């Protein structure tokens, strides 16, 4: 199972992979609840359609992307040197030992 999140305005991205399980736990749903969710779950944290996804992480990766100008500079450098631009911004990968 893989789960991704993107904060486009902050130019931050994360992907997590691992084993997952669904649960319908109204008490935990109440802890995580925000009023914006009423648009999707009108019966609140007790809504029968609401489920929580718990991911036991095995691997995670994140990217912090720079502004558009950094991509333009990287592309221009690639054209001038004939070498691929590679990763622009910060990128890290983490493996978790689940044992």
pLDDT in tens, 46-94: 999 999 998 899 999 998 877 777 777 778 888 888 888 777 778 888 8
DSSP 8-state assignment for residue 97: -
- Residue 16 burial (C-beta neighbours within 10 Å; 0-12, 13-18, 19+): buried
Residue 20: pLDDT over 70: yes
| Identity of the highest mean pLDDT range in 8-17, 33-42, 73-82 | 33-42
Cα separation, 52 vs 3, whole angstroms: 13
Q: What percent of the chain has pLDDT over 70?
A: 97
Minimal CA–CA distance to 89: which of 70, 69, 61? 70
CA distances 57 to 24, 31, 98, Å, are: 20, 21, 8
Cα separation, 26 vs 52, whole angstroms: 9
């Amino acid at each position: 199972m893989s789960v991704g999140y993107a904060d486009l305005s902050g130019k931050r991205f994360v992907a997590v992979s691992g084993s997952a399980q669904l649960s319908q736990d109204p008490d935990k749903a109440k802890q995580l609840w925000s009023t914006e969710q009423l648009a999707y779950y009108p019966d609140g944290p007790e809504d029968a359609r609401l489920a929580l996804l718990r991911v036991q992480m095995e691997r995670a990766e994140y990217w912090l992307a720079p502004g558009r100008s950094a991509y333009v500079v990287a592309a221009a450098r690639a054209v001038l040197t004939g070498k691929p631009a590679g990763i622009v911004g910060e990128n890290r990968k983490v493996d978790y030992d689940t044992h």
